[in-house]
Structure 1
Amino acid sequence: MKDGTTQYTEDNIRSLDWKEHIRMRPGMYIGKLGDGSSADDGIYILLKEVIDNSIDEFVMGAGKTIEVSIQGERVIVRDYGRGIPLGKVVDVVSKMNTGGKYDTKAFKKSVGLNGVGTKAVNALSNYFRVESSRDGQSASAEFERGELTGKEFLEETSRRKGTKITFIPDADIFKNFKFRNEYVVRMLKYYCYLNPGLTIIFNGEKYHSEDGLKDLLSENIAESDRLYPIIHLKADDIEVALTHSRTQYSEEYHSFANGQNTTQGGTHQAAFREAVVKTIREFYGKNYEASDIRKSIVGAIAIKVMEPVFESQTKTKLGSTEMGGELPTVRTFINDFIKTKLDNYLHKNAPVAESLQKKIIQAERERKELSGIRKLARDRAKKASLHNKKLRDCRVHLGDTKKDNNLDSTLFITEGDSASGSITKSRNVNTQAVFSLRGKPLNSYNMTKKIVYENEEFNLLQAALNIEDSMEDLRYNKIVIATDADVDGMHIRLLLITFFLQFFPELIKKGHLYILQTPLFRVRNKKETRYCYTPEERERALAQLGKNPEITRFKGLGEISPDEFKHFIGEDMRLDPIMLEEGMSIDDLLKFYMGKNTPDRQEFIIENLKVELDVVEE
């Protein structure tokens, strides 16, 4: 009689070679896969892994220029560093635990320390080519999904020394992927900010920085929005820049360790936040609340540590507590630096110190004014959450997904019950939540934070996202506005974007806000159904499906059945990220689009409609 258990024998045990393991478990090496609509999708991690090696060459004083080209799916990265030793070209990109970063004589305080980076790119590309030039010779090799497709090629060359990597991500792993130049440019600019003197040429456009993190903040916060000039402090192994925003409510940080953008912060960012509070309290001799000091702060910190410990292969959070060598802990090192440098700066710049103190006192006054209404709003939110039909939550949230980068927790914000009903029935209950709006939200432009607590819908949305006190507690990686593709739907999108820009711009700056694309048409015959997102796609479908196919025009999300909707919010979901142009003033942006300047907007609309009509007539 069988006991029903599965047999477990030697036959169940198998060993994977390096490329099989990477391809079977890509999330372990590059985080989530994605299609390129998010800045942390896998295709950008592949690019980053290649560039990291070129950056390490620059840091070691070899090569001041890196050339990056992306044409469609093909990526080329060329540096002018020392070049991979010719006899190791194949090993470096195809043998695990092989690389120059294990020898601290050749690389110090580098980004890529685990010898995995380019191997992962190789294994996850359907075409990969490495070429190294040095000492008048060139060695090259080509691979397909990690497999060497021919012999290593060695020849005489007059080319400048350096390394050139070409790859095409594997479409079987990265479904429907597309490189978005905005994300690539942001990444490349960060490399320039962190490496003053470096030039990166991307598709012919040059990027360069002389003032490091000061340039970063200059591009991220408009001059008119700065409470005082950017404070820029530097020493060996540390650089800091900070200012306060006149209009922003939340804190905003850009943190880096050994050239890596640690988007999830870590020990260095926590120490920076703590050190700023401690130094300012001591400077003014007053025990101000930490939240009042940090309200509206915009800061950046970059440190270099020996043999850094990151909390994942994608290096988005620093775990190191030690600087390395004879230096103190990360916390003590940053505290001592801020205490000395920031204190000195404030003593020498009395107008800045005066502006900062006024800002802190204003934040304190606003906090006290809000304290009563916040308590009422929290009590109301707690009661509402017990029988709140607005939020249909999911099981996994952002705090959980940080342990597994391949999971995305998503909140869909929908209009009305019919649309939320379709999404709710077809969603993945583990990772996808739905928040249902009742009609059009309030235009929150030029209103104070008080409205967030007084307006029940805004308060419940803030509670659902868990962003009242800090972005660090955000519950969803993606916040997706899912409205009808009509005038009312567009208006709701605009009102929601206004709400986030007015009170939580960090959500947009950090790439958490999206618009859901849903099909405008369904074209089908007896054998096949095509969903078309544009009139052009509809015309192609009509041409390919033969005579007299049935055409359905979707007017609203509620018209799409749950069985169909699962196709549009699953693996093939199409999202448009909401992005801010660098250096754009949020205040000026909102004033133009949401203020009382109706004639200006009318003129803008008429002018842009003319352009569209001209294109159609041609």
Structure 2
Amino acid sequence: MAETKKVVADYTEDSIRSLDWREHIRLRPGMYIGKLGDGSSPDDGIYVLVKEVLDNCIDEYMMGYGKSIEVSIKDKTVTIRDYGRGIPLGKVVDVVSKINTGAKYDSKVFQKSVGLNGVGTKAVNALSHYFKVASFREGKMKMAEFEAGQLIKEHKEVPTTEANGTLVSFVADDSIFRNYHYIPEYLEKQIWNYCFLNAGMRINFNGKNYVSKNGLLDLLERETNADELRYPIIHLKGEDIEVAITHNNDYGEDYHSFVNGQHTTQGGTHQAAFREAYVKVIREFFKKDFDAADIRQSIVAAVAVRVVEPVFESQTKTKLGSLNVEEGGQSMRQFVLEFLQRNLDNFLHKNPAVAEALKKKIEQSERERKDMAGIKKLANERAKKANLHNKKLRDCRIHLNEEPPTKGKEEFAFKQNNTTIFITEGDSASGSITKARDVETQGVFSLRGKPLNCFGMTKKVVYENEELNLLQHALNIEEGMEGLRFNRIVIATDADVDGMHIRLLIMTFFLQFFPDLVKKGHVYILETPLFRVRNKQTTIYCYSEQEKQAAVKKLGNKPEITRFKGLGEISPDEFGRFIGEDMRLQPVILDHGDHIQHLLEYYMGKNSQERQEFIINNLRVELDVVEEGAVPVAATT
């Protein structure tokens, strides 16, 4: 038998490569801006690009320069103008194109800044198809233009009548961010957060002004419904710390945490310190050892801190790590605890009505927890047994809540961001997805049929209903969002009446008992094609009537048209195209002003007459027009 020789490339000096800053960012963009994404998720990279430029503008404002910022996003062109000091004219090119170059290494110039590692605008530059920077400073202007991080034109310094400041304009590279689009609601929330953290600062976004007078108090007023609050919002401010606290009737804990103006969506040491300190102060005030879960149940809180040289766990700065505590300094835990012990305790003593309302809420949570204890224990035992043989859950190998390995952290984090669970109806649809999915990052949970309409029910129903209990265990959200196993929860149902109803029932379950899943942007609707238009050479999948008409026109000569009615009709080979890199997802977004209980009552409650009148008044009939010459083969309508 002939010996098989393994071919191994020579390992020589030529094998060693040195990448310049631009090549490295473009080769490993995830290290710098997290998820690439198409814009359907609030933490997709295109929003991080906007944030990186805005962070510099906010840092100027925090240092006392410029009271307003202008942001314009038209089509895919982002333009941001601040009125700070402006980049020193001789360094305009270096600041946006030389790694580890910037003023923020000088703590005398920029104190308690969020952008400390000199990477931000360089990453935006490198990942943009087109990038322009202009600095206006003391009657002079300097401008430079780039493509994919490479300087294409450095303009000469010229006189100007423009006010001091910096202008950055860029178009994200669509070869890196494929099929991307900006969702206005995500950008608006991002801008509001900047305003809440910098009371008095004005941001003009596409012609609309955003400004906050009362900081985090305004944030909680915007995020909550006054009718649902158990007591007025507690608003406390100190040097380098601000908190706002209240309770409503929702389940779970809802936190908005910030460091130096950065929205730390994944929390960190400051959020953990607040959760711990809040429990300690409440126990000491009421002189009773309440359970921590009862104290924090239904809490809605915002906490913002400012620190020198914060240590984030990644370039995207979504989680604060341990701080560099200098000799004689405080830990974050001590800092937050001492602030709350002094200020929250004083507030509760001065406002006995608020203290009494808070105590009643804690006691109510305590009663509910004890009432559920027996059935919860039994349900969890059943769930553990079912999980061993649960044919309804096809799990994946990597999960969002797992600790990264010692080696390959970057790649593992990228996969964690893409962890997805598809919630499907019936075995045929789940079978197609299961065969086509990526077993490393995509799981499938199959429903038996229409789940229970749990509007108006207590959380006891989650444990009494086997399917809902298994779903919460699959997601690992029983004890809160910290253990969530999947970054994206995708409802994958047919585009018919029954499928729409199942979507509503699942969303009702999440909004009723786990609203943070929706608020934090984890829930999506899977878009699958309605039509397949093909001839012998080309196949085009269409997601709307308009796309179908365009495909028929493009292919011409009587193409074959298939109308997909259900997910089960799509073969596994085809399905692989719709849940891969080009997967189309519609995020479930709560608009400002939407109140969860009011929404659920309208759509899922017993006001059928009101809903019927709305449907009649807003009914539209759309005719399925077939292009002349097209042949609808195997069309199932």
How far apart, in 2, do the equivalents of 1:551 and 1:325 lie? Answer: 72
Tell me which amino acid in the other structure corresponds to 2:469. Answer: N
1:452 maps to which residue? 462
Shift of 1:582: 2.3
Superposed CA RMSD in Å reads 1.5
| Alpha-carbon distance, 1:588 to partner | 1.1
1:245 aligns with 2:253: no
Residues 439-480 of structure 1 show CA distances to partners (whole Å, capped at 9, x for unaligned) of: 000000000000000000000000000000111100000000
The answer as to 2:190 corresponding to 1:182 is no
Task: Name the counterpart of 1:489.
Answer: 499
Deviation readout 1:255-279 (Å, 9 max, x if unpaired): 0001100011000000000011000
Deviation at 1:7, TM superposition (A): 2.6
Contact 2:311 2:324 (C-alpha < 8 Å) held by counterparts = no
The 1:201/1:326 distance shift into structure 2, 3 A limit, reads farther
Which of 222, 230, 235 aligns to 2:225? It is 222
Report the CA distance between 1:401 and its aligned residue. Answer: 8.2
Instruction: Give the AA of the match of 1:566.
Output: G
What is the CA distance between 1:320 and its match in structure 2? 3.0
Specify the code of the residue in structure 2 equivalent to 1:415.
E
Selected match of 1:288 from 278, 287, 290: 290
Letter aligned with residue 340 of structure 1: R
- Equivalences for 1:533-612 in 2 at 5 Å? 533-609=543-619
Q: Is the 8 A contact 2:491 2:524 kept in 1?
A: yes
SS in 2 for 1:353: helix
- For 2:52, give the aligned amino acid: E
Match of 1:336 in 2: 338
**What's the offset of the Cα at 1:385?**
0.7
Q: CA deviation at 1:594?
A: 0.9
Which stretch shifts more, 86-95 or 142-151?
Answer: 142-151
What's the counterpart of residue 316 of structure 1?
318
Find the aligned partners of 1:383 and 1:175 in 2 and give their Cα distance. Answer: 43
Q: Does 1:300 align with 2:272?
A: no
Residue in 2 aligned with 1:168? 171
Q: Secondary structure at the match of 1:250?
A: coil
For 2:583 and 2:518, locate their aligned partners in 1 and report how far apart those are by CA, in whole Å: 20
Q: Is 2:53 aligned against 1:60?
A: no
Contact 2:531/2:563 (8 A) holds in 1: yes
Q: 2-side partners of 1:272 and 1:584: how far apart?
A: 28
Q: Is contact 2:95-2:102 (8 Å) kept?
A: yes
Number of equivalences: 613
Contact kept in structure 2, 1:143 and 1:149, CA below 8 Å: yes
Tell me, in whole angstroms, the C-alpha distance in 2 between the residues paired with 1:7 and 1:542.
52
Task: Tell me if the contact between 1:306 and 1:323 (Cα under 8 Å) persists in the aligned partners.
Answer: no
Residue 28 (structure 2) aligns with: 25
Distance 2:225 2:327 in 1: 39
Aligned to 2:452: 442
Letter in 2 for 1:501: L
Q: Residue 107 and residue 550 in structure 1: after superposition, are their counterparts in 2 closer, same or farther (change >3 A)? A: same
Measured in 1, the distance between the counterparts of 2:237 and 2:560 equals: 66
Q: How far, CA to CA, are the matches of 1:3 and 1:195 in structure 2?
A: 62
CA distance in 2, matches of 1:605, 1:37: 28
Q: Residue in 2 aligned with 1:279?
A: 281
How far the C-alpha of 1:153 sits from its partner, in A, is: 2.8
The CA distance in 2 between the partners of 1:510 and 1:32, in whole Å, is 16
Match of 2:631 in 1: none
| Larger mean Cα displacement after TM superposition, 38-47 or 152-161 | 152-161
- Seq. identity, %: 65
Alignment partner, residue 235 of structure 2: 232
Specify the code of the residue in structure 2 equivalent to 1:542.
V
**Maintained 8 Å contact 1:220/1:584:** no
Aligned match of 1:132 = 135
1:527-549 alpha-carbon deviations (Å, 9 max, x no partner): 10000000000000000001100
Provide the residue aligned with 1:406 in structure 2.
414
Q: Aligned residue for 2:632?
A: none
- Equivalent AA in structure 2 for residue 130 of structure 1: V
Question: Cα deviations across residues 478-506 of structure 1 (Å, max 9, x unaligned)?
Answer: 00000000000000000000000000000
1:104 aligned onto 2:107: yes
Distance 1:323 1:186, change over 3 A: farther
Deviation, structure 1 residue 399: 2.0
Q: How does 1:68-147 map to 2 (within 5 A)?
A: 68-147=71-150
TM-score normalised to the size of structure 2? 0.95
Q: Secondary structure at the match of 1:406?
A: helix
* Inter-partner Cα distance in structure 1 for 2:457 and 2:463: 12
**Please, which of 518, 537, 546 is the counterpart of residue 527 of structure 1?**
537
TM-score scaled by structure 1? Answer: 0.97
1:373 to 372, 375, 384: 375
Q: 1:303 to 1:323 in 2, by over 3 A?
A: farther
Contact conserved, 2:185 with 2:591, CA < 8 A, in 1? no
Please tell me whether the aligned partners of residues 218 and 583 of structure 1 are also in contact (alpha carbons under 8 angstroms): no
1:249–1:503 CA contact under 8 A, matched in 2: yes
3-state SS, counterpart of residue 49 of structure 1? helix
**What stretches of structure 1 of length at least 5 have no aligned partner?**
none
Change in 2 beyond 3 A, CA 1:341/1:583:
farther
Matched, 1:203 2:203: no
Task: Find the counterpart in structure 1 of residue 48 from structure 2.
Answer: 45
1:420 aligns with 2:430: yes
Q: How does 1:378-389 map to 2 (within 5 A)?
A: 378-389=380-391
1:158 aligns with 2:161: yes
Q: Distance in 2 between matches of 1:604 and 1:352?
A: 40
**Preserved CA contact (<8 Å) 1:52 1:111:** yes
Structure 2, unpaired ranges of 5+: 626-637
1:411-450 Cα offsets, whole Å, 9 max, x none, are: 0000000000000000000000000000000000000000
- Does the aligned pair in 2 maintain the 1:254–1:300 contact within 8 Å? yes
SS at match of 1:76: strand
- 8 Å Cα contact 1:305-1:323 kept in structure 2: no
Q: 2:265 aligned with 1:263, yes or no?
A: yes
Go from structure 1 to structure 2 and tell me whether the alpha carbon gap of 1:583 and 1:230 turns closer, same or farther (over 3 Å shift).
farther
CA positional deviation for 1:605: 1.2
Per-residue deviation at 1:585?
Answer: 1.8
SS of residue matched to 1:101: helix
